[in-house]
């Protein structure tokens, strides 16, 4: 919901950082992998009971996720790069709640599982629409900066990172945050299924 408002303001500083990295010969795919590694360190930090350390790795990983796209625009986007970026993002999103489940299985396992299930819904509707829309030549409209075409919704990248950040800042409230964000994700999934079906219906 917030991506289309926030991203245009973030792109200029990200583009400057990307330009400096590009001058040093660092490619977009390398940044994507580095961001993923940072995300995995965030998951590990949560599981080990260091949520503030996890927050640092989380933010570094998401920073890399913004920079890789800007480097790709300098070199020219590739299908392989877009594929790598989205796959690593989805793996990270799915694994992040697992860190809290490992930290406190008795209290966190069920809300973490439901949250991951809600991510399957948002991810499936995201990718299914993207595949059909690209095949049919449907315009990206407000998301020209993305490597894939998709429908917006209540839960996008910005909202997900805010939710993850709150989990790191208030780990004792993980259950409440996870249940609330899972609800938002399920609403997003329903919206995308209905809107996507209507958009793709001749």
Per-residue pLDDT tens for 17-74?
778 888 888 888 999 999 999 999 999 999 999 999 999 999 999 999 889 888 988 8
Percent of the chain with pLDDT over 70: 85
Q: Is 2 helix (H, G, I), strand (E, B) or coil?
A: coil
Handedness of CA 49, 30, 147, 67 (dihedral sign): positive
Classify residue 76 as left (phi > 0), alpha (psi -120 to 50) or beta.
left
Give the CA-trace dihedral at 124, 127, 133, 135, to 10 degrees: -120
- Tell the CATH superfamily of the 3-200 domain: CDP-alcohol phosphotransferase transmembrane (TM) domain (1.20.120.1760)
What letter would DSSP give residue 184?
H
Q: Is the pLDDT of residue 159 over 60?
A: yes
- Is residue 46 within 8 Å of residue 103, measured between CB atoms? yes
Domains of the chain by residue range? 3-200
Higher pLDDT, 141 or 120: 120
**Confidence tier at 150 by pLDDT (50, 70, 90):** low
pTM of the model as a whole: 0.84
- Give residue 118's pLDDT band: very low, low, confident or very high (50, 70, 90): very high
Conformational region of residue 170, where left means phi above 0, alpha means psi within -120 to 50, and beta covers everything else: beta
Query: In the structure, what pLDDT confidence band is assigned to residue 127 with cuts at 50, 70 and 90?
Result: confident
């Amino acid at each position: 919901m917030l991506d289309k408002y926030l991203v245009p303001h973030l792109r200029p500083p990200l583009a400057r950082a990307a330009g400096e990295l590009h001058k040093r010969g660092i490619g977009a795919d390398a940044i994507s992998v580095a961001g993923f590694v940072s995300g995995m360190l965030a998951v590990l930090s949560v599981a080990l009971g260091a949520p503030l350390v996890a927050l640092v790795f989380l933010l570094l990983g998401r920073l890399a996720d913004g920079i890789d796209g800007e480097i790709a625009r300098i070199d020219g986007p590739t299908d392989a790069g877009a594929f790598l970026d989205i796959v690593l993002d989805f793996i990270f999103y799915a694994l992040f709640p697992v860190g809290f489940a490992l930290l406190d299985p008795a209290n966190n396992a069920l809300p973490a599982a439901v949250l991951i299930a809600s991510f399957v819904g948002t991810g499936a509707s995201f990718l299914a629409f993207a595949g059909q829309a690209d095949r049919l030549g449907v315009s990206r409209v407000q998301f020209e900066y993305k490597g894939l075409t998709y429908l917006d919704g209540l839960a996008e990248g910005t909202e997900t990172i805010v939710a993850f950040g709150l989990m790191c800042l208030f780990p004792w409230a993980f259950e409440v945050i996870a249940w609330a964000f899972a609800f938002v994700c399920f609403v997003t999934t329903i919206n995308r299924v209905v809107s996507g079906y209507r958009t793709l219906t001749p």
